[in-house]
Amino acid sequence: MIDPASVAFDFDGVFADTMTLFLDIARDEYLITGLRYEDIKHYTLEKCLGIDREIIEAIITKILDGNHTAPLKPIDGATEVLTRLGKHSPLLFVTARPYKGPICDWMLNLLPLDPERIEVIPTGSYEEKADVLLYKGISCFVEDKLETCFLVKEAGITPVLFRQPWNREEHPFTEVADWKELESLIAF
């Protein structure tokens, strides 16, 4: 069981449905059609989508800056579980984003919690997450990037892999398919 006071979460691909937003921006602003969520089989998008690197970088910049018309939505069930959890313990999100950008405001609009109960730490790279988690005394981290799971495990933190099309390789970690399954692992 996961201790509610000692769990932290990744943002993109765990709380935020960022890849759907990516596909929406590609379609709406760059007229790139025919891509499906299931096509994203690698975290490095140019390896699986057949889109020019410059366009991928432009879309990612739009996402990071909040400069898009398509809405960023939460992963199904995330808002309810995080709200429940946030009433028991403060929420910590550790993201590889280089800066917070608009994600704190986005969270506050979704989660009916006191802003003091939500902390977001951008690290700039997935390799830096383990150090932040250790510093914060976290023992369990919910993540969608398989490489990060291996790094936090090496640091003595228990990873829980949030299943996504881009992390379908063999691994030794506890895995959840959705927020309902994750909720069942939390010791409320």
Which CATH number belongs to the domain containing residue 100 in this structure? Answer: 3.40.50.1000
Per the structure, the complete domain to which residue 122 belongs is given by 4-16+74-185
Same domain, yes or no: 173 and 100: yes
Cα–Cα distance between 24 and 62 in angstroms, integer?
12
Same domain, yes or no: 115 and 83: yes
Question: Which pLDDT tens digits describe the chain residue by residue (188 residues)?
Answer: 999 999 999 999 999 999 999 999 999 999 999 999 999 998 889 889 989 999 999 999 999 999 999 999 999 999 999 999 999 999 999 999 999 989 999 999 999 999 999 999 999 999 999 999 999 999 999 999 999 999 999 999 999 999 999 999 999 999 999 999 999 999 98
Cα–Cα distance between 21 and 25 in angstroms, integer?
6
Same domain, yes or no: 154 and 82: yes
Of 147, 128, 174, 171, the C-alpha closest to 44 is 147
Same domain, yes or no: 85 and 105: yes
In the chain, how many domains are there? 2
Scored b (16 or more CB within 10 A) or e, 172-183 reads ebbebeebeebb
